[in-house]
Every structure is written in C-alpha cells, then in structure tokens.
C-alpha cells in the first residue's frame, strides 16, 4: 500500500486502495491521527435542543441593550437585584398607560405574546393569584399588556411583516407600509388644550393653526386612546430624545399599536445609547398613538372621527382616527415650538448645512422652493433637513432622521435620498412590482404624498452629532411665479423679520386643481401649521440672534424671471446654485447694490457665473407696464396677508412692530 507522503504532517493520512470507486476513480480512505490540526474537525458537539423552538432560543444572544427603562437607579452598577430592576423598569411604562378611571396602570409584561418561550419567562410588575384567562379582556385591569420596548429595526421588520397587512420588504431592503385611509396630516382635526397656562401664551384666533379644546374633552380622548392600547395583546414603546444639543434635549415616549409607527419614530427621533436608556427615567412628553381607533365624532369640539390633540400642561399628545405617521413627527415639532422659546431657544422649520470652515447656513422655504435641493450640497455637511433649534450654544437638529418626499424620486436628481432607501428605512404608501419588489416612484395610485423615513446617518455627508456654530447666513427661499422678485436680495434685519413672518411662495397652474394663474401662498415663519406662539415672537427672536451673532438675511427667488408663469422663464438651477455659493463664500457681501421700487430690496449688480441682466427684474420684462402692474399686485397681496399680524405689538414701545411694517411693500 503506497502512502501519500505529502500528508504526513497533517491530521489525516490519505491512502490509495486497489479497489475502484464509481466512474473508475480510486477510493480514498481517511485515518484520523491526533496530530496538529491542519485540517479542522468542525463537526462540533451536537446541540441539546429537542425542538425547533429550543433551537431558536439558542440563536439569541443576550443583548446588552436594556429592554425597559430604569427609574430611581444610579446607572448600570446600582445595588439592586435583577428582579427589582425589572419591576422598576416596567413601572414607568405602566404609569404612562394608566387610565384615569383606575388608580394604577395595566399589569405590564415584557416580550411578544406570540412567543411562548418569552411569555413563560415574562417579568410582571406584580404577580397575580388568579388566572387572567378566566376574565374578559374588555377589562384591561384584568389582563397583561405586553410591551415591546425599543425594538431594533430587524425586530420591527419581523413584527410588521407578520402582523400588519400591507407590509413588505422592497428590492433595496426598505420596509414598505400603508398608512390607511389618511395619507397626509389632518390639520383641521388638530386640537390644542386652552387652559390657564396656554390661554395667554399661544396664538389663537384668525390665522392661527391652534384650534382650541378644553381639558375635559382631551381627557375623554386620552381615556379612549389608553383603553384601546390597553385592550391590545401588545403595544410598542419607544423612549428617545429630541434635540442633538445635550444641554437642551427632551425625553419623549411614544406608545403605539403598530410596528410601522415604532420604526418610523426610531428613525425620526434621536436614538439613545444603551447607557442613556438605563438613565432615561420619566419622559418629558408622551404620545399615545391609537390611530387605528376613531374618536367619537359626537364628542364636543370633534368634527370627524380623526383627532390629534395636544395638552401642553400635561405634556401629552393623543392620536385617534389616523395612522399617518407624520402626525407624530409634526406633533413633536409643535411641542418644541412651545417649549424651546420658553427657554429663549428659537425653534425653526428649516434646512441647515455647514461648510468645511464652520460657516452655517439656514434655509427656509415652502414646498417647491428648492429647500431640500439647495441645502443638500456635497461640498458642505448636512446638519439637518427640516427642524432645528438656535440656542446660545449654536444650532442643533431636533431630529435623528429625515422624512423625504418620494414622488418622482430618481437616482440622478436625488442620489442621497435614493441611496438612503435601504434596510431600516420606512417607505409609506409607495407602489412596487409584486415580483421584483422594485419601487415605482412615479406611481401615485395610493397617494402623491409618498414618503421615506430614514436615520440621518444614511446621508453620507451628514454631520454627526448634528450640531454646529451660530449661523452666518439666513436664506429665505420663494418660488415667485409672478416673476417680479429678483433672483437674490440682501435683507436688513427688519426686512428679514417681515419676509420671515410672511413666508411667501406661489402656486402655479397644474400644482392644484382650479389654479389658472399664479396664486400667492403665505405660511407664517415658513411653517404656520406647526408654530404655537404668535409669529412675531419667533421673528423677534430670529432678529435678536442674527444681530447678536452677525448673521445676514437673504431672499432668494427660485421661481420665474422675464414674466410671470406662462410667459417668463424659470430661473435656472445652475444660476441659483451660483448665488448660494456666493452667499456661502461671503463674496456677495462685498458686491455693489441697487434698490428696487415697491419692496425696497437691495440687489447685487454682479455675481460670478450669473448673467447680470437677470439680477434686476426690470431688465428682463419687455412689457414694463405689465411688470409694474404685477409688482403692485404682489405687493398688495403681501399687505393683505400681513393685516392679521397688525394687532400684535412687539416690545413695550411698539417700535419693533413699526420697523417690521416699514420693511414691507411701500406704495
């Protein structure tokens, strides 16, 4: 028998035999030798599991992430037993879910009720001597409420796909979901409790987004929402933060019935570290999202089966009758518009980016003005795309993610958003191929308001943490379809306040049914639906901070030139980008300026890369009379819109109010 000498140093010795195997090949025999393991035996010890459930339990490594918050401890090394720790962890959530008709909250259990192995080991706040199955589940005091706490995206994917109809994984790994009958916000169903605390602080009446309700009605809706959540087999709880500035961050708790909502808020709020979660304690604000359950439309102040209610004194929000996830995002933004100014911090509906030298720019603009496009710049860092705070520490993003429109999304035009739609991202109400799961972003079968929610880390040039120094430039964007505003104007502080309060852009034919010619649209502070106090208060704070930190205001028209919509031309994006670059670099500050009539805007005479003739609208209109008539028409619309703000006085001597009015159109 001939040995294969090349195997002498191995763990096996191969020998040829005289017998032949199939197809005439010689058989190979192996002889194990306890020598050095060049060839490894990877068979391993057989598992002890006898069932597939037991085998699955071996897959799961114990996570370092706590499953529930801890109250009253001094961190991870507090002298407390594991059993007591678990009880304290759950009592905070139990208190959040307490009904007003019972002294305590529900009997909270952690883990998914569908998992038998977890259910058998579940930790209760209180052990019971009765069999809960003997009682009807309608009395939520006699059943356990299962809490799925701060689940990971992978866990939430599993929950959504198993239990929520319309949940699928797209070709790029995103979670496709449906928001039900409501595919957008319901501003007419938003209510704010008017009480002793808010009566004199909030903006009420004509022009205000705040529709009042009394506390009794709020508590009726809260009870309805909490009882619905307690009646479910399980609810999802997120404990997270708002505001990247650690000195002024807010702790929020979101209790919801859908995995989709939990993943959405996981992306949109700031995600705590395991250590921060251990110290989370009691939240500063709580959302009860019972959107699958309607409000009673016969309840006082209700006008439909949908109600989104804010109680700023109780620091609570209740959602009934709508599953649109954006209600939670914007509801918390409204809360920040109330809480931050009380701390002398300005809350802003804006995009924000920062240059490599640390110069920060804020971008304000309504839909269609180019806010997202212009604030996304690969040569600059993205601090945030939508919600910010400006404090004595500088600027900070409120959120931990982005909520981008998806309609007609393309890789060429918006590569960052396109590439961010991957595992962990929620895409709402989109349409996809049932076989390949490729998304058709041009399809509007469900809604035109298709959206994607993803963590801000998914943007390559995002600045983490999302904070920056004090802004150097404040850029107000307007898509002027009347064609009379210059492509760029340098604003005085008073003009910045006037145009900030006005929040102007224009709709054009085709954007909405029935629009035949340009229609002016005004939204105070470029986000009237979310502000809580009078717009002049935010404007005064903006002026104060700009003056203190030397920021310059700019009005940039991304709309039409040489005529109104239909006769003129849209200002080229390449020219607008050159203008924005000149603002960032500071070269525009040193340009020569002339002043326009009616609006009194200072316009530069020259910008590198931009044709000088388009900088002054009077040069581009061939019909000078038509230009003057259109200019006066738009000025009149500004004046009419501003009438609602005239009765609000700023400052003891009212001097600031007069300065703002003088900064508007004059004719």
- CA distance linking residue 629 with residue 633, whole number of Å: 6
Pick the closest to residue 147 from 174, 192, 121, 113 (CA basis).
113
- Bridge-based pairing of strands 488-491 and 552-557 is antiparallel
Percent pLDDT > 90 in the chain is 69
Identify the residue with better confidence: 606 or 507: 606
Q: How many angstroms separate the Cα of 523 from the Cα of each of 208, 468, 642?
A: 10, 27, 11
Per-residue pLDDT averaged across 235-253, rounded? 97
Q: Three-state SS for 431?
A: strand
- CA distance linking residue 168 with residue 443, whole number of Å: 17
Confirm if 555 and 563 have CB atoms less than 8 A apart. no
Element housing 406 (H / E): none
Other CB atoms within a 10 A radius of the CB of residue 67 amount to 17
What was the pLDDT predicted at 357? 95
Across the chain, which distance is largest between two alpha carbons, in Å?
112
Q: Three-state SS for 475?
A: strand
Enumerate the H helices of 124-258 as residue ranges: 153-163, 215-231
Identify the residue with better confidence: 385 or 110: 385
Per-residue pLDDT averaged across 453-467, rounded? 97
Measure CA 408 to chain center: 20
Q: What is the DSSP string of 312-350?
A: TTTTEEEEES---THHHHHHHHHHHHHHTGGGT-EEEE-
Per-residue pLDDT averaged across 325-332, rounded? 98
Ramachandran quadrant class, 431 (left: phi over 0; alpha: psi -120 to 50; beta: rest): beta
- Bridge-based pairing of strands 467-468 and 26-32 is unpaired
What was the pLDDT predicted at 77? 40
Q: How many angstroms separate the Cα of 333 from the Cα of each of 92, 510, 519?
A: 24, 30, 28
DSSP 492: -
Please give the structure tokens belonging to residue 557: 């028209």
- CA distance linking residue 563 with residue 405, whole number of Å: 30
What was the pLDDT predicted at 79? 56
- CA distance linking residue 388 with residue 196, whole number of Å: 28
User: What are residue 387's DSSP bridge partners?
Assistant: 349
> Across 24-38, 89-103, 478-492, 652-666, which has the greatest mean pLDDT?
478-492
Question: Over the stretch 388-434, which tens digit does the pLDDT of each residue have?
Answer: 999 999 999 999 999 999 999 999 989 999 999 999 999 999 999 99
- For tokens 């005439």, the residue is 24
Query: Residue 422: CA atoms inside 13 Å, Cβ hemisphere, count?
Result: 11
Please give the structure tokens belonging to residue 428: 């709402």
The predicted model scores a pTM of 0.85
Per-residue pLDDT averaged across 59-80, rounded? 53
pLDDT exceeds 60 at position 655: yes
**82-86, 179-183, 250-254, 340-344: least confident range:** 82-86
Other CB atoms within a 10 A radius of the CB of residue 659 amount to 18
Catalytic residues: 185, 330, 349, 367, 371-372, 386, 451
Other CB atoms within a 10 A radius of the CB of residue 520 amount to 20
Per-residue pLDDT averaged across 192-221, rounded? 94
Confirm if 253 and 281 have CB atoms less than 8 A apart. no
- CA distance linking residue 657 with residue 494, whole number of Å: 9
Q: Three-state SS for 662?
A: helix
Element housing 265 (H / E): helix 259-268
Q: How many angstroms separate the Cα of 161 from the Cα of each of 164, 370, 424, 452?
A: 6, 36, 13, 18
User: Using 50, 70 and 90 to split pLDDT, how confident is the model at 42?
Assistant: low
Question: Over the stretch 262-308, which tens digit does the pLDDT of each residue have?
Answer: 999 999 999 999 989 988 989 999 999 999 999 998 888 888 999 99
Confirm if 113 and 119 have CB atoms less than 8 A apart. yes
Identify the residue with better confidence: 290 or 90: 290
**206-215, 607-616, 646-655: least confident range:** 646-655
What was the pLDDT predicted at 5? 43
User: Using 50, 70 and 90 to split pLDDT, how confident is the model at 653?
Assistant: low
């Amino acid at each position: 028998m001939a040995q294969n000498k090349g195997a002498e140093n191995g763990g096996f010795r191969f020998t040829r035999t005289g017998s032949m195997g199939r197809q005439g090949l010689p058989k190979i025999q192996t002889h194990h030798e306890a020598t050095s393991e060049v060839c490894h035996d990877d068979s391993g010890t057989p598992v002890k599991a006898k069932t597939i459930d037991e085998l699955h339990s071996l897959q799961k490594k114990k996570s370092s992430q706590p499953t529930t918050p801890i109250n009253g401890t001094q961190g991870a090394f507090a002298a407390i037993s594991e059993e007591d720790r678990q009880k304290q962890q759950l009592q905070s959530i139990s208190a959040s879910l307490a009904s007003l008709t019972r002294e305590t909250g529900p009997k909270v259990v952690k883990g998914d009720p569908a998992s038998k192995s977890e259910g058998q080991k579940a930790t209760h706040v209180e052990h019971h001597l009765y069999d809960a199955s003997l009682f009807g589940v309608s009395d939520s005091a006699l059943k356990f409420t299962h809490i799925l706490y701060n689940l990971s995206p992978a866990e939430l994917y599993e929950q959504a796909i198993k239990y929520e109809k319309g949940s699928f994984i797209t070709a790029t790994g995103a979670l496709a979901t449906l928001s039900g009958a409501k595919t957008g916000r319901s501003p007419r169903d938003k209510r704010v409790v008017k009480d002793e605390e808010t009566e004199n602080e909030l903006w009420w009446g004509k022009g205000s987004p705040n529709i009042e309700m009394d506390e009794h009605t709020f508590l009726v809706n809260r009870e309805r929402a909490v009882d619905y959540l307690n009646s479910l087999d399980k609810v999802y709880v997120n404990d997270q933060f708002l505001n990247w500035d650690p000195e002024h961050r807010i702790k929020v708790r979101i209790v919801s019935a859908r995995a989709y909502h939990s993943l959405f808020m996981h992306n949109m709020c700031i995600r705590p570290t395991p250590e921060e979660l251990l110290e989370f304690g009691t939240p500063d604000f709580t959302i009860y999202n019972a959107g699958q359950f309607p409000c009673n439309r016969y309840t006082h102040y209700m006008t439909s089966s949908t109600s989104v209610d804010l109680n700023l004194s109780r620091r609570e929000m209740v959602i009934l009758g709508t599953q649109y996830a954006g209600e939670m995002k914007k509801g918390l933004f409204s809360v920040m518009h109330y809480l931050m100014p009380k701390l002398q911090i300005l809350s802003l509906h804006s995009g924000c980016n920062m240059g490599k030298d640390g110069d920060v720019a804020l971008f304000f603009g309504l839909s269609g003005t180019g806010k997202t496009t212009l604030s996304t710049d690969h040569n600059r860092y993205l601090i945030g795309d939508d919600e910010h705070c400006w404090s004595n520490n500088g600027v900070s993003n409120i959120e931990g993610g982005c909520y981008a429109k998806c309609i007609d999304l393309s890789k060429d035009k918006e590569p960052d958003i396109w590439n961010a739609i991957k595992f962990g991202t929620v895409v709402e109400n989109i349409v996809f191929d049932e076989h390949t799961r490729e998304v058709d972003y041009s399809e509007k079968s469900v809604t035109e308001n298709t959206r994607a929610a993803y963590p801000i880390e998914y943007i390559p040039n995002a600045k983490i943490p999302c904070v920056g120094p004090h802004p150097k430039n404040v850029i107000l964007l307007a898509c002027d379809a009347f064609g009379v505003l210059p492509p760029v104007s340098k604003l005085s502080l008073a003009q910045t306040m006037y145009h900030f309060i006005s929040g102007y852009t224009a709709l054009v034919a085709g954007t909405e049914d029935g629009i035949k010619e340009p229609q002016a649209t005004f939204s105070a502070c470029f986000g009237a639906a979310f502000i809580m106090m009078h717009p002049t208060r935010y404007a005064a704070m903006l002026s104060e901070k700009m003056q203190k930190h030397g920021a310059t205001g700019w009005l940039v028209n991304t709309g039409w030139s040489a005529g109104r919509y239909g006769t003129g031309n849209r200002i080229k994006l390449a020219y607008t980008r050159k203008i924005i670059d000149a603002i960032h670099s500071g070269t525009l500050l040193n340009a020569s300026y002339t002043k326009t009539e009616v609006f009194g805007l200072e316009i530069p005479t020259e910008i590198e890369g931009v044709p000088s003739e388009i900088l002054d609208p009077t040069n581009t209109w061939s019909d000078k009379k038509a230009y003057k008539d259109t200019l006066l028409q738009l000025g009149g619309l500004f004046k009419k819109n501003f009438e609602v703000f005239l009765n609000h006085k700023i400052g003891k001597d009212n001097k600031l109010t007069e300065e703002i009015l003088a900064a508007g159109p004059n004719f």
